[in-house]
């Protein structure tokens, strides 16, 4: 790699934790609880626990690998180095297409809460603004994320306090019978919100002291996110119950209203917009870095590997990702985007766990059970998602695999 193409190591532990936390404690906490409750009913907390176990295994595997390979690209790099070029490529392809769909879902969430009648226009505007922030440098992105996380946590603290102190007589229980598949489907939906810790790993080339900082940042961010999710879920269930939670599109706003504080609903809606914007900020940041790594290896157009001489960011990758996300946000459905993204990202982490399973004791491998449980968890939860999401995700991954094969065949000739 040329020196001019290397990214600058400017992120410390605090900024790394905030970027990961901002990706997890974002729009998911405002949007994922309702569909997860519809799938799991009263077993919502069990589904949250399953998602947390899978996320912990994935985070541990990712942290050990990121410390060993502290460069941009995440599992794209780990899979390539530990399993072979194809598996790294497949992980990178799954991350880029899956997280591009996530970006569109977050942008649409911003639009739906800010101005429902013109949600797509607002979504595209949000993408343009976030791309501009990322373009002028990762340090400014980290600062913006720190502010967003503080606002979101403050709003969630208000929701929790109002729910625990307010009325609880309106809670209802979901009448539908819930089976194991429903719980696993809910775990997949909640995992969508947990998956933000990958952003820390994909920023490996911009983190100071990566062998020490990355594992600590991932563990701290995941632990904080789990506590927040669990407390908010219990608080909302106390007021709405699984039945009331499952039937709404804005569960936290409905919860404070049902608890007897309808005047706080607009505040919660503003918090949802800020949270979704924070998730979008970190998502675009991570996708552009994986695009950079794949472009360096010529799996994507080499022009995307350019690093801006002044701002020190992969500016062409940033702009390309921004344009694609804006187009998807202007045309796609948010539910389809979330389902597709969940499947692709779980495949990404499946490869991360398989890569971690090849580490030796000298390479600071995790306990053997962690990557095994993580890999099995990713596979089971991914296949438990709605069938259209599974089929669409498998089809896009197959297209990527065929493109890889065609490129290899052409290169050998």
pLDDT value, residue 4? 47
Mean pLDDT of 17-29: 76
Regarding the domain with residue range 13-407, which homologous superfamily does it belong to in the CATH classification? Amino acid/polyamine transporter I (1.20.1740.10)
Which of 25-39, 155-169, 190-204 comes out lowest in average pLDDT? 190-204
Q: Measured between alpha carbons, how far is 185 from 152 in angstroms, rounded to an integer?
A: 26
Contacts (Cβ under 8 Å, ≥6 apart) of 116: none
Would you say residue 184 has pLDDT above 90?
Answer: yes
Q: Measured between alpha carbons, how far is 14 from 231 in angstroms, rounded to an integer?
A: 23
Q: Do 224 and 59 touch, CB atoms closer than 8 A?
A: no
Span 72-94, pLDDT tens digits: 677 888 999 999 999 999 998 99
Contacts (Cβ under 8 Å, ≥6 apart) of 132: none
Buried residues in 180-212 as b, exposed as e (16+ CB within 10 A): eebbbbbbbbbbbbbbbbbbbbbbbbbbeebee
pLDDT value, residue 257? 93
Mean pLDDT of 103-120: 84
Most confident of 59-63, 261-265, 330-334: 261-265
CA 309 to chain centroid: 29
pLDDT value, residue 81? 94
Would you say residue 332 has pLDDT above 70?
Answer: yes
pLDDT value, residue 3? 45
pLDDT value, residue 7? 61
Query: Which H/E stretch holds residue 362?
Result: none
* Separate counts of helices (H) and strands (E) for the chain: 17, 0
Provide the phi-psi class of 11: left if phi over 0, else alpha when psi is between -120 and 50, else beta.
beta
By residue count, the chain amounts to 413
Segments making up each domain of the chain, as ranges: 13-407
Question: What tokens does 396 get?
Answer: 């896009």
Query: Higher pLDDT residue, 391 or 14?
Result: 391
Angle at 142 between CA 289 and CA 295, to 5 degrees: 10
Contacts (Cβ under 8 Å, ≥6 apart) of 247: 34, 38
pLDDT value, residue 1? 45
pLDDT value, residue 181? 92
Span 335-348, pLDDT tens digits: 778 788 889 999 99
Question: What tokens does 255 get?
Answer: 């919860």
Calculate the alpha carbon distances from 291 to 287, 351, 363, 378 in Å: 6, 18, 27, 23
Query: Higher pLDDT residue, 294 or 307?
Result: 307
Mean pLDDT of the residues in the chain: 86
Query: Higher pLDDT residue, 5 or 392?
Result: 392
Which of 10-24, 135-149, 287-301 comes out lowest in average pLDDT? 135-149
Span 63-73, pLDDT tens digits: 888 878 877 67
Q: Do 91 and 79 touch, CB atoms closer than 8 A?
A: yes
Mean pLDDT of 390-398: 94
- Report helix, strand or coil for 11: strand
Q: Measured between alpha carbons, how far is 348 from 404 in angstroms, rounded to an integer?
A: 16
The single residue listed with the structure tokens 């505007």 is 125
Question: What tokens does 196 get?
Answer: 């933000």
């Amino acid at each position: 790699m040329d020196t001019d193409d290397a990214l600058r190591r400017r992120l410390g532990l605090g900024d790394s934790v905030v970027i990961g936390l901002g990706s997890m404690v974002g729009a998911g906490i405002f949007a994922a609880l309702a569909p997860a409750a519809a799938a799991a009913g009263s077993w919502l907390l069990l589904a949250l626990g399953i998602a947390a176990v899978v996320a912990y295994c994935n985070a541990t595997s990712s942290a050990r690998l990121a410390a060993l390979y502290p460069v941009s690209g995440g599992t794209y790099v780990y899979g390539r180095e530990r399993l072979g070029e194809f598996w790294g490529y497949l992980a990178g392809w799954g991350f880029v297409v899956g997280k591009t769909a996530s970006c569109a879902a977050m942008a649409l969430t911003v639009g739906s809460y800010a101005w429902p009648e013109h949600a797509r226009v607002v979504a595209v505007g949000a993408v343009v603004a976030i791309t501009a922030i990322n373009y002028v440098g990762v340090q400014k992105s980290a600062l913006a994320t720190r502010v967003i996380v503080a606002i979101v946590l403050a709003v969630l603290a208000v929701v929790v306090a109002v729910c625990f102190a307010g009325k609880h007589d309106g809670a209802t229980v979901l009448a539908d019978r819930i089976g194991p598949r429903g719980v696993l489907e809910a775990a997949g939906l909640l995992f969508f919100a947990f998956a933000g810790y990958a952003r820390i790993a994909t920023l490996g080339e911009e983190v100071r002291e990566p062998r020490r900082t990355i594992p600590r940042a991932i563990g701290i961010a995941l632990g904080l996110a789990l506590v927040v999710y669990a407390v908010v879920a219990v608080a909302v269930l106390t007021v709405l119950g699984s039945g009331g939670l499952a039937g709404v599109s804005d569960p936290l706003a409905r919860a404070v209203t049902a608890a007897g504080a309808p005047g706080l609903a607009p505040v919660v809606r503003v918090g949802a917009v800020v949270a979704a914007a924070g998730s979008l900020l970190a998502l675009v940041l991570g996708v552009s870095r994986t695009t950079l790594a794949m472009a360096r290896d010529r799996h994507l157009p080499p022009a995307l590997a350019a690093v801006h001489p002044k701002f020190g960011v992969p500016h062409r990758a940033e702009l390309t990702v921004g344009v694609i996300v804006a187009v998807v946000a202007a045309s796609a459905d948010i539910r389809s985007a979330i389902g597709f993204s969940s499947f692709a990202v779980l495949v990404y982490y499946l490869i991360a766990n398989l890569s971690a399973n090849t580490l030796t004791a000298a390479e600071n491998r995790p306990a053997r059970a962690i990557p095994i449980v993580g890999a099995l968890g990713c596979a089971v939860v991914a296949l438990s998602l709605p069938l259209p999401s599974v089929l669409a995700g498998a089809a896009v991954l197959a297209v990527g695999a065929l493109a890889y094969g065609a490129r290899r065949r052409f290169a050998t000739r």
